[in-house]
Amino acid sequence: MAQQEVDTFWPPPRHALQRTTIEFLSLHNCPKRGERRPRYDGRRLDCHQYHPELSGSRAAPSDEVKISSTEITLALHSIGGFSAVSKELPPRSVETEISISAVSKEGGGMNANFGDIVHCIAAEPEATFLHIGVLDSGRETAYESVVLGRLRRGHRIFQLRGALGTRIELCYLFVHVSFGEEDNMWPSARQLRIQTLAKDAYINQLEQTLERTGAIRAHESGLHPLPPGMISRSGSVVNQGVISRSGSVVNQGNFSRSGSDVNQGMTRSGSDISRLDGMGMVRPQAEGFFTQQER
């Protein structure tokens, strides 16, 4: 049942989660307040010929010069599986969005240093989107969205986009990316159910093993007969649980521990036959039973 659910449903249970660590180093040439610098060249140059209103237009910055309060927000959006962002490991809480702040010393165009480290944890990184936004006084002025599983190790840059999705000319976010793994301490409800079914099956197997072991030990100490079909450590098969005075186990049509052939409650050794009562005590042989020697 558990294996069938694992093979049927997606995403599958994950015992380890991929960790993507991003160190934010610096932001370069983010537009000033009111400024727009769409980049029309590049691989998608022809796209701007159709619906140019979606590409945006250039605009000069406003005359007001103020200290820009730069803030970066980072969010994870998963199609399936667990995901979280945190500034520490292991994460103390499950959050899908986090923010880091830096205050530039000059007004206007933002060139800020950060140095913050953020850990992105995902069970399915190939199905998880990373959104990075640059906010100025609470308003998003630039952003970039990527697939978390497509990031590469080392120093990288994100070329940021404007509100309409067009890349901003000369606007970059400089980061360092590294990878690792974390134990999955946040299983889903379905994953917990699969684990519970597997543990229940294992517990039932242990209980059956303990029951067979206890029956064999009780039989060898002479206190109780073995259940029908149980095999003792000496190799004899017990079907009816009849014991002779000499200690040999009597089975209908089988062999006792001493090797004597037992058939219908009679032994070749000539010993009287006794049976166990309901309390596990040996009581005398019922009248009418004789050994071959007495006959």
8's CB contacts (< 8 A; 6+ apart) are: none
Spatial contact of 83 and 130, defined as CB atoms under 8 Å apart: no
Question: Domain spanning 2-183: which CATH class is it, in words?
Answer: mainly beta
- State whether the Cα torsion 101-68-75-143 is positive or negative: negative
Q: Along the 295 residues of the chain, how does pLDDT read in single tens digits?
A: 445 544 577 888 888 999 999 999 999 988 887 788 888 777 767 776 777 777 777 777 776 656 567 889 999 999 988 999 999 988 888 899 998 887 555 544 578 888 899 999 999 999 999 999 998 877 888 999 999 999 999 999 999 999 888 899 999 999 999 999 999 888 777 777 777 888 999 999 999 999 888 888 887 777 666 565 555 555 554 444 444 444 454 444 444 444 444 444 444 444 444 444 444 444 444 444 444 444 4
Chain position carrying tokens 């509100």: 163
- Six token digits for residue 234: 């000496």
Q: Where in the chain is the domain with CATH 2.60.40.150?
A: 2-183
| Distance (Å) of CA 158 to CA 33, 73, 129, 149, 154 | 21, 14, 14, 15, 13
Spatial contact of 155 and 176, defined as CB atoms under 8 Å apart: yes
Beta strand 237-238 pairing with 242-244: unpaired
Please report how many Cα atoms fall inside a 13 Å half-sphere around the Cα of residue 182, on the Cβ side.
Answer: 25
Can you give the pTM of this predicted structure? 0.61
